[in-house]
Structure 1
């Protein structure tokens, strides 16, 4: 009884409540709504909608958008992290970058969509300047900003800071003794990165890449505010299914779509957990 009331156990109560309310409960709701019909009877008919070409196309859009922005964000963020290796951990530069990354990684939703519309929208500041002064019309080939390709830049905007936050500890785990030992044995810079640096950092880099993929795949607010028409990605299609249960003639389609997203996220986060377990051997 004393063990149950100990401080360490009580400290888990807020975290446990958070997991139950925002992870376990939504998963149960998705399963319950995705596997029952309008009368509350168990059925697998809702899952057949996942094979519909429209739904498959939507999942495809979400997958390629998430993968593309994750790769670009991971590469740019890794370069930023590498550039910061020479900065003092307690210096002003490192403090500013860490603070800015923490803020920008959470800067999404309607605010981010408005920022891009005001900057490079049809009547955005940069758009008008380029058209009036340089004769460059960035919308000459269509209004791409308000379609699926237009989500790439906003997603990269918050993917890069997230990569800086998550990948910096891995780069800092590279011990100076490893570079010294490599130099004493006659190894060069390329040899160090080929045989020491990259093998150590690869699991962490791939883990961060998966985290960025999951972050983009589950993003909703920015896409909902920026794309005014259509349901090009899965979160927007779930919103459409919730507002109109007659989509594709299927009841509880939103639950089936959410279940499909849960499957993708479980696979991604399982791989992420395995990679982070391997990375933990070096990041200490």
Structure 2
């Protein structure tokens, strides 16, 4: 009878050696320029605004500037800014959503769709003094369309001043709100899967029932989030309104300009900080709601 010798078992099992962990700083170095940009152009100005809003002329702590926000002039400018932002965002959201749907009807590789999206991308960034001058040359005093309407209908050849007031600002702001809505809302429309419509039709649903009971509920968070983005975009816009309105301060950004550059009432720099803080709070609330709606949309859009 033969026996086999037992296998030799080492006294201590040594785990395989692992190379020392190295700290990977490559991605962090790549983010450094972006973090520096945010610090210089976002963090530092925000901190400066917050600190300056609660200081008096001597540099001490004071609530006088913040309390002044509830006076008639700042409240009227805030109401006008909110009305301007809400009106242009509502009009831009509805018309932009319709335009996005019409663009989506074209094939993805079609020339029309590519040109339309490219034009919307350009017009969404077309603002400031250039946009204001374009509208003044068209509908302003002695503008091209103003002269044509005067010749055709016998209207005043010099035009009226509505373009330089709140109605004119709403019209001009809507011009860049519509293409912006197309850009931000088009991915949500593209996220609607054809299988959902086929399933609804297979269950006997009509086109109206599909849109009201399937598509619209799914698109509602994306639509509202896009409208909030348009609101924040209009609320913070300055250059276009500054070029159109040379006198008076109908909205909060122009009131900030008046507080900083006025030659009649001096020492209003800290009040401009308080106005800027007011705008920061409004935009922060709006963008928080936008982020919340964006998370809800991402549940099905992905």
Conservation of the 8 A alpha-carbon contact between 1:118 and 1:124: yes
SS of the equivalent of 1:281 reads helix
Conservation of the 8 A alpha-carbon contact between 1:101 and 1:161: yes
- State how far apart, in whole Å, the 2-side matches of 1:11 and 1:101 are: 31
Which of 152, 155, 169 is 2:187 aligned to? 169
Which of 116, 124, 136 is 1:117 aligned to? 136
Query: Post-superposition, which runs of at least 4 consecutive aligned residues in structure 1 deviate over 4 A?
Result: 1-4, 137-140, 245-251
SS of the equivalent of 1:123 reads coil
What is the root-mean-square deviation in Å for CA atoms of aligned residues?
1.8
Provide the residue aligned with 1:61 in structure 2: 80
Provide the residue aligned with 2:111 in structure 1: 92
- State how far apart, in whole Å, the 2-side matches of 1:24 and 1:4 are: 27
Provide the residue aligned with 1:160 in structure 2: 178
Alpha-carbon distance, 1:183 to partner: 0.8
1:61-96 CA-to-partner distances (Å, cap 9, x unmatched) read 000000000000000000001112221112211111
The verdict on how the C-alpha distance between 1:134 and 1:39 changes in structure 2, with shifts beyond 3 A counting, is same
Matches within 5 A, 1:36-51: 36-51=55-70
The verdict on how the C-alpha distance between 1:115 and 1:194 changes in structure 2, with shifts beyond 3 A counting, is same
Structure 1 spans left out of the alignment, 5+ residues: none
Would you say how many aligned residue pairs link Structure 1 and Structure 2? Answer: 282
Alpha-carbon distance, 1:245 to partner: 8.5
Which of 217, 220, 224 is 1:199 aligned to? 217
Q: TM-score, normalised by structure 2?
A: 0.89
- State how far apart, in whole Å, the 2-side matches of 1:245 and 1:21 are: 30
Structure 2 spans left out of the alignment, 5+ residues: 1-20
- State how far apart, in whole Å, the 2-side matches of 1:270 and 1:132 are: 50
Conservation of the 8 A alpha-carbon contact between 2:149 and 2:155: yes
- State how far apart, in whole Å, the 2-side matches of 1:246 and 1:122 are: 28
- Bigger CA radius of gyration: 2
Alpha-carbon distance, 1:37 to partner: 1.0
SS of the equivalent of 2:299 reads coil
Provide the residue aligned with 1:133 in structure 2: 152
Provide the residue aligned with 1:32 in structure 2: 51
